[in-house]
């Protein structure tokens, strides 16, 4: 079975390429904001819904305006791709998957997508449109096929990345007889149904002193000065280090789980509601539950494994795994409890929940297959 996968690499542009990319990012951002404003005004003033074709026609007229001749200095392909991305953003919004599309700022991550007509891939090198030489990419691994599109991005720490979308052949892993249930937590990142506890590394706490020092120095700098810009980038680099460390750790864990288990069951969490708790918001954001579940979902799909999420209202912690008795209440500070129905003593809250999650997950899969 063939599927599309993105392969991300870091690259180091020349001064000429850096200037061209800066212009490209700026034009993409300008087009996104202009078309978004056009859509909003058309709806509120004339109750008119603007689709992709109307947005494309608006972009054509925008390029002809004397004040926006700078749009012709960069490739037209990223500008057109920008409209497709915005159309997808509105489609996801109306499907209630994401929030309403927002205006882009030059202070945040910048990106531009180049279709196959706007770049060349020869002899293991990628050259973007209007570039005189190929990008200096640090190839950590070879591309399995010619990219159908590439996305060039610059993060807030000033690092440049290129993401290559390739169509590859996927091979399912050999079937194994093991299954696992996963109970997500804060003290432990997760606990499995077989009793394994994976410690929460608390990445933010590890770099907290360094981050706080950089933020204090930033607060003392005069707004608009070059020193403030330098201090701001140091803060961004510290945040990038935390994010990279967290992502690397999650990738290693999820790969191990997928390789060792045929069926993986986890609980569904409404994280955006959970972070409203101001006492736990920082810890919940740092642990990365959403990214962990996302990686498990697509990696099991690639590997031919099965991944299932149970309903978030399922009482996995309050239900006795041995007899099915459900306690009326169980506060978070209670880590072990005794079952009054079957007499089982010292029930570990997390392991019991993981076993119940696995049991409920396999029941869901059995019902779906029958």
pLDDT (tens digit, 9 = 90+) per residue, 93-137?
Answer: 999 888 999 999 999 999 999 999 999 999 889 999 999 999 999
User: Residue-wise over 231-247: b if at least 16 C-beta within 10 A, else e?
Assistant: bbbbbbbbbbbbbeebe
pLDDT band at 329 (very low <50, low <70, confident <90, very high): confident
Q: What is the mean pLDDT of the chain?
A: 92
Q: What is the mean pLDDT of residues 296-310?
A: 93
pLDDT of residue 368: 62
pLDDT at 279 exceeding the cut of 90: no
Task: Check 123, 183, 291, 341 and give the catalytic one.
Answer: 183
Task: Check 45, 48, 267, 328 and give the catalytic one.
Answer: 267
pLDDT band at 219 (very low <50, low <70, confident <90, very high): very high
Higher pLDDT, 340 or 43: 43
pLDDT at 256 exceeding the cut of 90: yes
Active site (annotated) includes residue 41: no
Please give the share of the chain, as a percent, with pLDDT higher than 90. Answer: 74
pLDDT of residue 68: 93
pTM, whole model, 2 decimals? 0.87
User: Residue-wise over 50-75: b if at least 16 C-beta within 10 A, else e?
Assistant: beeeebeebbeebeeeeebeebeebb
pLDDT of residue 369: 58
* Per-residue pLDDT tens digits for 260-269: 999 999 988 8
Task: Check 171, 208, 350, 369 and give the catalytic one.
Answer: 350
Please give the share of the chain, as a percent, with pLDDT higher than 70. Answer: 99
pLDDT of residue 93: 94
CB 288: neighbour CB atoms within 10 A?
21
Active site (annotated) includes residue 350: yes
């Amino acid at each position: 079975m063939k599927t599309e996968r993105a392969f991300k690499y870091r690259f180091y542009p020349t001064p000429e390429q850096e200037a061209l990319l800066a212009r490209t990012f700026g034009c993409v951002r300008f087009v996104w904001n202009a078309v978004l404003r056009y859509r909003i005004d058309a709806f509120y003033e004339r109750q008119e819904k603007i689709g992709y074709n109307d947005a494309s026609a608006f972009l054509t007229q925008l390029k002809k305006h004397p004040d926006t001749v700078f749009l012709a200095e960069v490739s037209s392909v990223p500008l057109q791709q920008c409209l497709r991305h915005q159309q997808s953003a509105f489609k996801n919004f109306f499907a209630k998957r994401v929030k309403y599309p927002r205006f882009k700022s030059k202070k945040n991550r910048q990106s531009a997508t180049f279709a196959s007509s706007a770049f060349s891939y020869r002899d293991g090198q990628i050259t973007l449109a209007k570039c005189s030489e190929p990008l200096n990419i640090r190839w950590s691994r070879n591309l399995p096929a010619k990219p159908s599109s590439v996305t060039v991005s610059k993060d807030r720490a000033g690092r440049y990345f290129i993401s290559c979308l390739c169509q590859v052949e996927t091979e399912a892993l050999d079937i194994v007889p093991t299954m696992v249930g996963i109970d997500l937590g804060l003290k432990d990142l997760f606990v499995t149904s077989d009793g394994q506890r994976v410690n929460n590394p608390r990445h933010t706490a590890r770099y907290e002193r360094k981050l706080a020092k950089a933020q204090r120095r930033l607060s003392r700098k005069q707004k608009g000065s070059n020193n403030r810009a330098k201090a701001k980038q140091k803060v961004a680099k510290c945040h990038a280090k935390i994010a990279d460390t967290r992502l690397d750790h999650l990738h290693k864990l999820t790969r191990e789980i997928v390789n060792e288990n045929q069926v993986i069951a986890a609980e569904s969490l409404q994280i955006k509601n959970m972070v409203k708790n101001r006492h736990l918001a920082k810890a919940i954001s740092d642990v990365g539950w959403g990214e962990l579940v996302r990686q498990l979902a697509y990696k099991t799909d690639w590997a031919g494994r099965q991944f299932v999420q149970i309903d978030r209202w399922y009482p996995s912690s309050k239900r006795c795994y041995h007899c099915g008795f459900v306690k009326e209440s169980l506060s978070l500070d209670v880590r072990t409890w005794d079952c009054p129905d079957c007499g089982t003593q010292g029930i570990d809250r997390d392991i019991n929940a993981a076993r119940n999650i696995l049991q409920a997950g396999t029941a869901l899969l059995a019902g779906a297959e029958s």
